[in-house]
Amino acid sequence: MDIQTIGVCGAGTMGRGIALTMARAGFATFLFDLNPQALAQAQLEHEKELAKGKISEAEKSKTRALIRYTPELEECLAELFIEAIVEKPAAKVALFNQLAELNHGDCIFASNTSSLSITEMAKQILHPERVIGLHFFNPATLMKLVEVVQTSFTKPEIIDTAVALIKQIGKTAVVCADAPGFIVNRVARPYYIESLRLAENNAGSFEQIDRLLASAGFRMGPFRLMDLIGNDINYAVSCSVYEQLGKPERLEPSWIQHQLVQQGKWGKKSGEGYYAYHA
């Protein structure tokens, strides 16, 4: 399938990075968000990223010309949509259905969800064979891996198109089945949950646990990583994987996460989480 225009929905942590990656790879891209402030912030961050990169002025101008920012749903016309909105299935399904009414019947709907069932979403969308997962990692501009999630409905041509596109943008596509948390988030869950248990039991402070695990070879300690991901998102993913796997005790989300989410301490993006951040 020929992809000309890519619509990225949700201009938060992930959508910003995905949109910039697509435009830098030469795709006409638009970033849609209901919140104009998120769009303005995304545009600012794109400018900062472009200023950092060792790319020519001509390339920067080309990238800028390829990205549009819009809060208007009616302007969302594309061959491929990648949604990176809140981790709530009903919101994602509602958005895809609104987009389905505006677009032709064979545009592809990809969800960047970290944990929700792509199959359950697909069942609620017209032409479920075109719904897939495209799970980018944070920060999306740098991280190479993308999990391409297929369901029993997915047409093989759609997976082929997605894999070719991921290669075209310089990333590594790994096709995987639609299982709770897919591969990476399933395996990563105990890293967060066990670290939270240690903190719950006063066996170490957030900083001590982070320092020890980073010294033991992990790229980032669990608490810094959760702050980078966003505690609202990480908690939603923890709950979703826990519930989908039948609530195993070892994966029970922590009251510490719950408390931080309730207090609006969502991590780096809100200025405070396990740590405090300055703008």
Ligand X SMILES: NC(=O)c1ccc[n+]([C@@H]2O[C@H](COP(=O)([O-])OP(=O)(O)OC[C@H]3O[C@@H](n4cnc5c(N)ncnc54)[C@H](O)[C@@H]3O)[C@@H](O)[C@H]2O)c1
Q: What does the binding site for ligand X look like in residue numbers (CB under 6 A)?
A: 9-15, 32-35, 38, 84-87, 91, 95, 112-114, 136-138, 229-230, 233, 237, 269
Please, what is the minimum distance in Å from the beta carbon of residue 139 to ligand X?
8
- Cβ nearer to ligand X, comparing 137 with 223: 137
Catalytic residue among 114, 117, 195, 240: 114
Nearer residue to ligand X within complex by CB, 26 or 36: 36
- Hey, what are 262's tokens? 């309730």
Q: What are the CB-based long-range contacts (under 8 Å, 24+) for 37-43?
A: 38/11, 38/12, 39/11, 39/69, 39/70, 39/71, 40/69, 41/11, 41/16, 42/11, 42/15, 42/16, 42/69, 43/69
Burial class (CB in 10 A: 0-12, 13-18, 19+), 138: middle
3-class DSSP assignment, residue 141: coil
Does residue 254 carry a catalytic annotation? no
- Position with the least CB separation from ligand X: 12
Residue carrying structure tokens 């849609």: 32
CB of residue 140 vs ligand X: minimum separation in angstroms? 8
- Tell me which of 185, 234, 238, 240 is the catalytic residue: 185
Residue closer to ligand X by CB (options 79, 83) is 83
Angle, in degrees to the nearest 10, between helices 36-52 and 57-66: 160
Distance CA 113, CA 111 (A): 5
Whichever of 153 and 266 has its CB closer to ligand X, that residue is 266
Tokens of 221: 């300690």
Minimum distance, C-beta of residue 193 to ligand X, in the bound complex (Å): 17
114 assigned to active site: yes
User: Of these residues, 46, 147, 195, 238, which one is catalytic?
Assistant: 147
Query: What secondary structure letter does DSSP report for 105?
Result: T
The rounded distance, in Å, linking the Cα atoms of 171 and 41 is 25
Closer residue to ligand X, CB minimum distance, 78 or 85 = 85
Least distance in Å: CB of 204 to ligand X? 24
Q: What minimum distance in Å lies between the beta carbon of 34 and ligand X?
A: 4
135 catalytic residue (yes or no): yes
Active site residue 252: no
Q: Are 269 and 230 in contact (CB under 8 A)?
A: yes
Catalytic residue among 135, 195, 231, 240: 135
Name the residues annotated as catalytic.
Answer: 114, 135, 147, 185
